[in-house]
């Protein structure tokens, strides 16, 4: 479970009880667990695998808003959860996943206790801030910078999911993503040859 729970004074025994209050689901890749016609009433913990939040444009194009991966506690849609109404956000597994789902009704006992409420409120705030960070990233950073930052934080994704999901998240085409990665790798090779001359 999320190691941050310990920072809120929640003991291992309490964490175990908390986990047992959720429903464990083993889900195959490319399964949509939440869509526009639903209202979010559940927290989810990604025990293993990779999933994404996305929207569908009027033209029918899928745009990735965020990714979720192992060890992450989140909501299918923070906006839907807060406002208790339908939003554009969908939630889909990209790999086989093991997910623990916590319905709000099952969390009432824990939400009545300060430590858990503070912990979950902090996660909710982080989810909102992540949205702002992504919007800021798109406004001020060039595509190459976005690719570099994503590679530094989620480099393993390139070997685990189709690259067009990553390109969609970064706001570029798959071709542009491929070109930037190729140029970056070429630059690294040139730098390596300068440091270690060929033949040595």
Three-state SS at 23: strand
Domain count, the chain: 2
Give per-residue pLDDT as tens, 169-178. Answer: 999 999 999 9
Checking if the pLDDT of 200 tops 60, the result is: no
CATH, residue 61: 2.60.120.10
Q: Is the distance from CB of 90 to CB of 55 less than 8 angstroms? A: yes
Name 74's bridge partners: 44
Based on the domain organization, do 149 and 131 belong to the same domain? no
Based on the domain organization, do 39 and 131 belong to the same domain? yes
Based on the domain organization, do 101 and 145 belong to the same domain? no
Task: Tally helices (H) and strands (E) across the chain.
Answer: 7, 8
Answer positive or negative: Cα dihedral of 16, 21, 26, 31: negative
Based on the domain organization, do 69 and 164 belong to the same domain? no
Based on the domain organization, do 130 and 179 belong to the same domain? no
Based on the domain organization, do 70 and 25 belong to the same domain? yes
Residue 141 burial class via C-beta count within 10 angstroms: exposed 0-12, middle 13-18, buried 19 and up:
middle
Give per-residue pLDDT as tens, 85-103. Answer: 999 999 999 999 999 999 9
Checking if the pLDDT of 156 tops 80, the result is: yes
Based on the domain organization, do 101 and 125 belong to the same domain? yes
Q: What is the 3-state secondary structure (H, E, C) of 51-65?
A: EEEEEECCCCCEEEE
Checking if the pLDDT of 189 tops 90, the result is: no
Based on the domain organization, do 176 and 158 belong to the same domain? yes
Select from 137, 152, 173 the last residue of a domain: 137
Based on the domain organization, do 133 and 161 belong to the same domain? no
Residue span of the structural domain in which 26 resides:
3-137
Based on the domain organization, do 146 and 115 belong to the same domain? no
Angle at which helices 143-154 and 114-140 cross, to 10° = 150
Based on the domain organization, do 27 and 52 belong to the same domain? yes
Q: Which long-range contacts (CB under 8 A, 24 or more apart) does 153-156 make?
A: 154/67, 154/69
pTM of the model: 0.83
Residue 132: pLDDT band (50, 70, 90) is: low
Based on the domain organization, do 114 and 17 belong to the same domain? yes
Select from 137, 169, 187 the last residue of a domain: 137
Across all residues in the chain, what is the average pLDDT?
85
Name 24's bridge partners: 100
């Amino acid at each position: 479970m999320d190691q941050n729970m310990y920072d809120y004074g929640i003991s291992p025994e309490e964490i175990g009880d908390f986990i047992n209050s959720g429903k464990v689901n083993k889900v195959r890749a490319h399964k949509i667990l939440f869509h526009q016609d639903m209202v979010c009433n559940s927290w989810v913990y990604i025990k293993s695998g990779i999933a994404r939040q996305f929207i569908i444009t009027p033209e029918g194009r899928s745009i990735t808003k965020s990714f979720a991966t192992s060890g992450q506690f989140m909501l299918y849609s923070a906006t839907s959860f807060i406002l208790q109404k339908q939003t554009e956000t969908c939630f889909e597994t990209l790999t086989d996943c093991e997910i623990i789902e916590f319905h709000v009704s099952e969390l009432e006992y824990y939400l009545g206790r300060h430590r858990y409420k503070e912990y979950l409120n902090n996660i909710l705030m982080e989810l909102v801030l992540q949205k702002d960070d992504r919007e800021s990233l798109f406004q001020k950073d060039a595509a190459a910078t976005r690719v570099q930052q994503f590679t530094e934080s989620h480099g393993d994704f390139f070997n685990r999911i189709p690259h067009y999901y990553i390109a969609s998240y970064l706001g570029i085409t798959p071709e542009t993503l491929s070109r930037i990665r190729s140029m970056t790798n070429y630059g690294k090779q040139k730098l390596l040859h300068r440091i270690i001359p060929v033949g040595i």
